[in-house]
Structure formats: structure tokens, C-alpha cells
Amino acid sequence: MHRWTELLYRDFAAVHHWDLPSGSAVYRVFLLPGVLEVDIGFTPAAEFGPHGPNWRTVFGHPAPAKEGPSPCRRTLAGLGWHHALHAWICIQRHRWWQAEQWISALRGQVLSLACLRLGHPTSYAKGAHLLPSEVTAPLNTTLVRTLDEAELTRALSAATAALIAELALADAALAARLASILSDLRVDGRPPGPSIRSANGSGIDPAVVWAEQNVGGSQARRGSAGLASPDC
């Protein structure tokens, strides 16, 4: 890796590089003048081989082909409701930028689910341009136009509705179960159920209350209080 890195900087005037680990391989990603990206993969000889249908061996002796992990609707759906919940939590805490990030991530899961259903690549929106307009056009309403509570809540409601609508096309039972829960992310921003206040009057975090009522127990408290990243 060191030799190739020196060569890219010396002979091709590389501007910057960074490493992307993937299993046993490391991809060193270079930025060259002219906005050119060059990715060079380094992997142990025993692991050198195709992981997909587009592999073409130029030289060397590759190992037998390995099937990469297939996208899972259960995981994509889980990330979808996870992102919706955490977007709502961030809105309650007035963390506008973080809420926008979660809403955008939720929209990405809807695109991935649609791509999975229609047989297109699911990662990094690589198949999004292949989706029909009747799938993508409704997602325009999920775009956040301004960073304020009303707009973020509107965009979250639209993104959550899009998630349920997409799931209903492939798994109506799951869509119905999630709809009954996610519908409680109400437009007025308040958690469902009675108002709960602490003895000192400061109030209990409504995000934690909602999560414990609708997700359950200490796991919900850890997830909502800590804003944990997706853990599959």
C-alpha cells in the first residue's frame, strides 16, 4: 500500500486519500487533479476473487467466487422505522440539523425498499434512477425546505407515510403493524397519552416516554436517550 500511495502522489499528483475497509480488503481512495477518483483495492491472496457478477480478472489467479450478502427487507424496514423514530426525537429536542439528517436517511430507506422490490441495486441509491416516476415523485414532499419545527414535522410525516406505502406493496401485514405505531408521531409533535411531569416540574423527556410506551422497556430508553446509531 505504501508503494502504491507514493506512486500516486509522485507520478499522478494525488491531492488526498483515505481508506475504506471492506471485509479482509482495504480500498485506498485517491483524489487526483481534474476531480478524478482512483480506488485501489488491497486484499490477502486467499481472498482475492469475485464477489459479484461484474468481476473481470485482468491477471492473477482469483479464488472461487463468493456471493455477497443479499439486501434484506426486514433490515431495510427496521432502519426505516428507526430513522423515523429518531427524527421525531430530534424534533422534540429542537435538534433541527440532526432531525433533517434522520429524515433524509429515512427517505433513503424508502428508495432502497423500492429498489429491492423492483430488482434494482439497493445501496447508495444506485438503483434510484431506474425507479418509475410513480415511486419517486411522491418523495418530493419528503424534502426538508426549511429548518423549523413545523417543516421538519411535515417532512417527517410525508417520509413516514412513504415508508408505510412502500412496505404495503411487499408486506401488507408489516406495513399495518408499523402504521399503527408510527401514526402516533403526531403532527402537533406531542407524544401520545397523558402529559407526564416529574416531581421537580421539569418534566420527563417526551421522547423517552413515547419510546417506552411504544417500543418497550429499558431497550427503548437506551435507544431514545442515547440516539444510538443503527445496530443490525
Q: What is the pLDDT along the chain (232 residues), one digit of tens a residue?
A: 999 999 999 999 999 999 999 888 899 999 999 999 999 999 888 888 777 677 788 877 877 776 666 678 999 999 999 999 999 999 999 999 999 999 999 999 999 999 999 999 998 999 999 999 999 999 999 999 999 999 999 999 999 999 999 999 999 999 999 998 888 775 544 544 433 333 334 444 444 443 444 433 333 333 333 333 333 3
In this structure, what are the phi and psi dihedrals at residue 203, rounded to the nearest 5 degrees? 90, 150
* pTM (global) more than 0.85: no
* Sequence letter at residue 198: S
Question: Do 82 and 230 touch, CB atoms closer than 8 A?
Answer: yes
Q: Where are the beta strands (DSSP E) in the chain?
A: 16-22, 25-32, 36-42
C-alpha–C-alpha distance, residues 153 and 160, integer Å:
10
